[in-house]
Structure formats: C-alpha cells, structure tokens
C-alpha cells in the first residue's frame, strides 16, 4: 500500500503488484518513476528503498495531469495551476530514507483550461502546454491565463470548447514539434463522434497532418530518431513510419494507453481501466482487441523492450487508482518523495535554507545582489592579475571550453545553480571569458533580475566589443525599461558588430516605431526581411509601420505574407481587419 503519512487527505487503498524481476531492473537502471492520476488527484512515485523493497509514495494535487521532470525539478499541471516542485536535498543527503524531496515552490494560475501534456523547451526554458479546452498550444502569461502559440488550421476560433481533444505534445531537438488529437472537428465535443479512427498527428512547424486514422492517440514522444505514440483506442504502442505516415504497431497493451517515457532501450507505457459510467472509452477497437485476447483492462505500467517489442516487466495498481495520465523517468534517483499541500504541519513547518555560500558570487536565483558581488570579485581578481603580470595559459583554453559546454548543458536542463557554479569556475580561471558573462546575463534576464543582467551583458561587451547578441539582449531590456534611446544605441551596435543580425534590425525598427520614426522603422524591418525572408514577425511589424503612414494597401500585402508563413499569427489577422476597415472595406474585414 502506498505511503502517505502526514497528509490531511486520507490514504487511498492502492496495492502495487509487479513481476518478480521489476524491482531488480529498476534498481539496476538507477531510476525511479513519477506519474499522475487525475481520477484520484495524485502525484505518485515508485522507487526502491534501502532494503531493496519497492517504495511507493503519493501526494494530493487536484486533477494531476501532465508532467515534465528532471532529476531536480518537476512541473505538474493540475485543475487550474501549473506547479513547480524542486528537490531540496543535496547529493548523498537523505530525508526519512528518501534521496529526493520535491517541495512545491511556485504555482502559476492558468484557470481551468484543461492542460494535458506540457514540456519545457531547451533554448528558452519556456513552458509550452496543451490547452485541450481551448484547442491550442500555449505558454505562461504574467497577466493572463496564457499566451496562445498555435492552433490547428481547422479550428476556426479560440474558444472554451473542447472540439478536437488536442492532448499530446512532443519535443524534437528541444522544441515543441508534434501534437496528437482525437479528431479534426471544429464543433464542441465533435471529436467524440470520431473516436475510432479520427485521430491524427500534426507537425506544428509546417501545419502538416502527417498521420491520420488513429483511435484517440496520446503521448507522442520523439526518441532514438522515431516518433512514438500510444494509439490508445486500440491498445497498441508503436511509431510513425516517416516514409508513408502510417502508424506501425509494436506491442499490444491491455488497457487504455496514456503516459509514455523512455530509458535506454526501454519504453514505459501507462495503461488504464475503462472510465466507469463515462462512455468515452466505450465502443473503441480496444474492446474487441481485449476480447480477442480474452483479457480485461488493467491499470499500471508495462516496460517494453524497443529492440524486440516484448514486455519485459509490468506493474499493476489495484484499488482506487484506475486511470493514469502521465509518467516520467527520474534518472539517478533511488527513492523519491514529495511534500504536498494538504497538511499544515508538513508544508508550513518543513523549512529549508540556502547555505551561506549562496551569498558568494554567482547564485543568481537566490540573491539579487549576486552579480554585483561577482563584478566586485572579478575586478579585484583582475587587479591582482595585473599586479602579478599573470596571463591565462593557452593550455587551459580547452579546459575552459569544456567547462562552458557543461555549464551550458546544465543551464538547458534547468539546473540553474549548477550551471552558475560552473560559470563561476570559468571566471575564476579566466575573468575575461565573455561567453560566461553573457550566459549569466541570460540567466538573470530569464529570472527577471534585469539590473544584474545589464551588469553581466555590459561586462561581456567590455571584454568583447563586437558581442552582437549581448548588445541585442541589452537593448531589449532597455526597451522594457522604456529607455528607448539607449535601446537604439544597443541595437545599432549589434548591427555594426553583425550586419546580418535580423533580430537586431527588427528590434531597432520597433525602437524607432516607439519614437514615431516610422520611415526609419520600415527600413529596418525591410532589412530584417532581406536577411530572413521567412521572418513572420518582421512582416507584421513592417505592416504596422506602413499602417501608421496610412499606406494601408502595402500594409495588407505584408500582413497577407505573414499569414502565408504562419496561418495562426493572430495579431496579423487583427491588423489586417483594421487595415480593411481603414480603407472602408468593412465587409472584407468581417469575412476574414
């Protein structure tokens, strides 16, 4: 039975059954699992304790759904929030026998937009999630429920109606790329009429529907060069054949499939029982497939060998948990647990503190004065170096480059403190290493510490006066601070350093536009487009500059080009309607 001591919610009766060798396999792989069940509103963990026994743990999170997890951080979507849980234990530290303790540290309220899958993109650390209720991909907004990013082309408008049951999202090379949905329906609840074979996969970069004929597909994941998914309504796990876009079934799994993770040569597939009186699962091909194999649906996980398609291990959950949504692997974690929200004693009295070392250089995420401290420390070090007439030895360059690559990788994995520590190590060896300063600026910028980011970007520029990206990012901060003239200087410097920097040309145009210098703004946008003819945002911005000059017909041409490149660019539709209204073509504006 799963442990839940210390919560005010009653323990739910769940027995975990496994094959004889699952625990040994889990321990040998050096992993544990985290998974969600919205039916029972639980975030749950499976690991191995010090005695080699299976360890289960759960905490209450209302309608727990999509999970994105790293060793140190878990993002979880719930009924109307996205939670960030952070591990507070150091390597080798234990808490009540557990080697990871995840504590809710941040919550972003989205409202009930029915979030299903969510991911974190590598380059920007941006959270991207599926809003099934709105039929869109979205990201977080500081002010609103969310920022729409993409919708299927057949969805006519963004409204609170689950029309196509958009649910799954796959990353490719760290970018959101593929989605799954249950039907190409533009009518509320219309997807239910096409559950048996209306499902499809869409490439959101090209808006191309690459696979059709699926039955309630879920959990697309790109792994080892293949796009895998769960054809949930049939019970089959498989992949998409890129040559013809067909689904290639690999393994039949006895249950409705949701939740897919990979480790080495293994897939971990979540299976669920039918949903009580709900007819969503009734009449699916899965029913016939189960009958043919004379078996009943179950709830749990299957470990499938990708090399053979055979089921190597299984887990069954018996009791009140009957449906799962998502599963993730926690690498290097033996026995995890979390603190929940429903025990005043637990959540209010478990207090953790940063060590005093956190107030030394480069702990950006915890000290708002950290970069000023860095600056002072580095300046003192530079004086010391000057006095000693020291030089950085060439044989250390390769070591510094290796450290930088490690730090950058950690930064992309959201291991911010670890990456900061390595950047500090780099600057200890070579205070003149501009890329380290630049990345510290990026981290500070992303964390909202704009003053610290300015110091870091300026330091990078001081070391390398041709650091175009540092100038560009510095200019963006000045725009946000409404220091437009300083922003213009920065963007001009970025362009001088790198004349083909399309983003800097575009940003300079925006700065000119803010100063009502519309002709100069238009020229900058045109220059950006000459460098990158597929720059949707630059076409939109050029149209705005032309609109301000009352050149509505030319603005329309650019907006239509933007919409050809990105049919889901909502801002361009709105601007297009305004242009038609301005030239007294209200009917056209209404139709569009």
Condensed to tens digits (0 to 9), the pLDDT of residues 136-155 reads: 999 999 899 999 999 999 99
The residues, any chain, with a CB within 8 Å of residue 532's CB and separated by 6 or more, are 502, 538
CATH architecture of the domain covering 356-591: Alpha Horseshoe (1.25)
| Residue 78 burial (C-beta neighbours within 10 Å; 0-12, 13-18, 19+) | buried
pLDDT surpassing 50 at residue 408: yes
List Cβ<8 Å contacts ≥24 apart for 402-411. 403/429, 404/433, 404/435, 404/436, 407/436, 407/439, 408/439, 411/439, 411/442, 411/443
Task: Give phi and psi for 296, each to the nearest 5.
Answer: -110, 150
The DSSP result for 228-246, as a single string, is EEEETTTTEEEEE-TTT--
Confidence grade of residue 584 (pLDDT, cut at 50, 70, 90): low
The third-level CATH classification (topology) of the domain covering 14-349 is Neuraminidase (2.120.10)
- Please give the average per-residue pLDDT across 236-249, as a whole number: 95
Containing 553, the helix (H) or strand (E) segment is: helix 552-565
Burial 139-159 (b: 16+ CB within 10 A, else e): bbeeeebbebbbbbeebeeee
Query: How far apart are the C-alpha atoms of 147 and 432, rounded to whole Å?
Result: 39
Could you tell me the pLDDT band of residue 377, with boundaries at 50, 70 and 90? very low
3-state secondary structure 488-547: HHHHHHHHHHCCCCHHHHHHHHHHHHHCCCHHHHHHHHHHHHHHCCCCHHHHHHHHHHHH
With H, G, I as helix, E, B as strand and everything else as coil, classify residue 415. Answer: coil
pLDDT at 398 over 80: no
In this predicted structure, the answer to whether residue 453 has a pLDDT above a threshold of 60 is yes
Check pLDDT > 70 for residue 385. no
pLDDT of res. 365: 35
pLDDT value of position 280? 60
Mean pLDDT of 397-424: 87
pLDDT confidence tier of residue 5, bands split at 50, 70 and 90: very low
pLDDT 10s digits, 40-54: 999 999 999 999 999
Q: Are 314 and 320 in contact (CB under 8 A)?
A: no
The mean per-residue pLDDT over the stretch 186-201 comes to 96
Rounded mean pLDDT, 130-135: 98
pLDDT band at 109 (very low <50, low <70, confident <90, very high): very high
Burial pattern 37-57, b for ≥16 Cβ within 10 A else e, equals bbbbbbbbbbbbeeeeebbbb
- Quickly list DSSP for 305-328: ETTT--EEEEEEEEES------EE
232 close to 192: Cβ distance less than 8 angstroms: no
The mean per-residue pLDDT over the stretch 9-14 comes to 66
Between helices 536-548 and 552-565, what is the axis angle to 10°?
A: 170
Strands (E) in 7-87, as ranges, are 14-18, 31-37, 42-48, 54-60, 67-69, 73-77, 81-87
Q: Kindly indicate the confidence band of residue 368, based on its pLDDT and cuts at 50, 70 and 90.
A: very low
Give the closest residue to 86 by CA, choosing from 366, 285, 310, 343: 366
Where is pLDDT greater, at 182 or 396?
182
pLDDT reported for residue 324: 97
- Helical (H) or strand (E) element with 71: none
For residue 400, how many C-alpha atoms fall within 13 Å in the half-sphere facing its CB?
18
Q: Return the pLDDT at 294.
A: 96
Residues 6+ apart with CB under 8 A from 434: 459, 460, 463, 464, 467, 470
Beta carbons within 10 angstroms of residue 570's beta carbon = 13
Beta carbons of 82 and 115 less than 8 angstroms apart: yes
Listed in order, the ranges of the chain carrying CATH 1.25.40.10 are 356-591
Rounded Cα distance between 366 and 96, Å, is 27
> Taking the model in full, what pTM does it have?
0.62
pLDDT value for 167? 98
Mean pLDDT on 397-408: 86
Phi, psi of 56 (to 5 degrees): -115, 145
**Considering only CA atoms, which of 125, 211, 206 is closest in space to residue 168?**
211
Taking the C-alpha atoms of residue 473 and residue 92, their distance in angstroms, rounded to an integer, is 39
Task: Kindly report, residue by residue over 170-182, the tens digit of the pLDDT.
Answer: 999 999 999 999 9
pLDDT tens for residues 277-315?
A: 555 667 899 999 999 999 999 999 999 999 999 999 999
The CA-CA-CA angle for residues 420, 223, 29, to 5°, reads: 70
Tokens of 49: 């304790």
Under the banding of pLDDT at 50, 70 and 90, the label for residue 344 is low
Report the alpha-carbon distance of residue 67 to residue 326 in Å, rounded. 6
- Residue 88 near residue 352 (C-beta atoms within 8 A): yes
Q: Across the chain, what does the average pLDDT equal? A: 87
Q: In the chain, where does the domain assigned CATH 2.120.10.30 lie?
A: 14-349
Listed in sequence order, the residues at least 6 apart from 93 whose beta carbon sits closer than 8 Å to its beta carbon are: 99
Percentage of the chain beyond pLDDT 70 is: 87
Question: What pLDDT, on the 0 to 100 scale, is given for residue 391?
Answer: 42
Contacts of 65 (CB under 8 A, 6+ apart): 36, 38, 76, 77, 78, 115, 116, 325, 326
Percent of the residues in the chain that have a pLDDT greater than 90, as a whole number: 68
Q: Which two tokens stand for residue 144?
A: 């609103």
What tokens does 205 get?
A: 């970069």
pLDDT for the residue 118: 97
């Amino acid at each position: 039975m799963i442990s839940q001591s210390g919560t005010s919610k009653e323990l739910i009766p769940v027995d975990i059954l496994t094959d004889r060798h699952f625990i040994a396999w889990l321990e040998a792989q050096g992993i544990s699992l985290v998974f969600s069940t919205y039916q029972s509103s639980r975030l749950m963990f499976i690991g191995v304790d010090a005695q080699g026994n299976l360890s289960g743990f759960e905490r209450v999170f209302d309608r727990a759904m999509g999970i994105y997890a790293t060793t140190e951080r878990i993002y979880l979507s719930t009924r109307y929030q996205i939670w960030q849980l952070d591990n507070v234990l150091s390597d080798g530290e234990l808490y009540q026998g557990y080697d990871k303790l995840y504590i809710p540290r941040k919550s972003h309220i989205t409202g009930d937009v029915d979030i299903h899958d969510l991911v974190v993109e590598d380059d920007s650390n941006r959270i991207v999630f599926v809003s099934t209720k709105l039929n869109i991909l979205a990201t977080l907004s500081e002010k609103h429920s969310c920022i729409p990013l993409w919708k299927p082309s057949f969805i006519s408008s963004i409204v609170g109606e689950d029309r196509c049951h958009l649910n799954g999202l796959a990353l490719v090379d760290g970018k959101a790329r593929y989605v799954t949905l249950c039907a190409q329906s533009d009518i509320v609840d219309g997807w239910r009429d096409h559950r048996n074979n209306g499902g499809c996969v869409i490439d959101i970069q090209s808006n191309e529907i690459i696979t059709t004929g699926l039955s309630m597909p879920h959990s697309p994941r790109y792994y080892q060069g293949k796009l895998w998914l769960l054809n949930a309504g049939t019970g089959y796990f498989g992949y998409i054949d890129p040559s013809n876009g067909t689904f290639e079934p690999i393994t039949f799994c006895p249950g409705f499939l949701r939740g897919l993770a990979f480790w080495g040569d293994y897939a971990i597939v979540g299976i669920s029982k039918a949903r009580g009186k709900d007819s969503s699962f009734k009449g699916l091909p899965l029913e016939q497939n189960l009958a043919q194999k004379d078996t009943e649906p179950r709830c749990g996980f299957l470990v499938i060998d990708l090399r053979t398609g055979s089921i190597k291990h299984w887990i069954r959950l018996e009791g009140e948990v009957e449906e799962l949504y998502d599963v993730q692997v926690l690498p290097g974690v033996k026995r995890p647990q979390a603190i929940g929200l429903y025990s005043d004693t637990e959540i209010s009295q478990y207090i953790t503190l940063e060590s005093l070392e956190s107030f030394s250089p480069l702990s950006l995420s915890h000290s708002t004065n950290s970069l000023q401290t860095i600056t002072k420390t580095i300046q003192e070090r530079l004086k010391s170096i000057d006095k000693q007439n020291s030089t950085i030895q060439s044989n250390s360059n390769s070591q510094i480059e290796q450290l930088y690559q490690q730090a950058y990788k950690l930064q992309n994995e959201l291991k911010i403190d670890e990456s900061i520590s390595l950047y500090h190590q780099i600057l200890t060896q070579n205070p003149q290493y501009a890329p380290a300063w630049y990345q510290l600026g990026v981290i500070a910028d992303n964390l909202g510490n704009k003053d610290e980011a300015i110091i870091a970007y300026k330091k990078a520029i001081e070391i390398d006066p041709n650091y175009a990206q540092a100038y560009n990012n510095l200019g963006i901060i000045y725009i946000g601070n409404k220091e437009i003239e300083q922003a213009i200087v920065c963007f001009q410097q970025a362009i001088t350093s790198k004349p083909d920097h399309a983003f800097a040309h575009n940003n300079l145009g925006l700065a000119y536009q803010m100063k009502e210098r519309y002709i100069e703004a238009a020229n900058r946008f045109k220059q950006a487009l000459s460098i990158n003819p597929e720059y949707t945002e630059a076409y939109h911005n050029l149209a705005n500059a032309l609109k301000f000059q009352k050149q509505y017909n030319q603005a329309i041409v650019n907006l239509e080009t933007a919409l050809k490149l990105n049919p889901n660019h909502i801002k361009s539709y709105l601007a297009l309607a305004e242009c038609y209204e301005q030239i007294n073509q209200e009917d056209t504006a209404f139709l569009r």
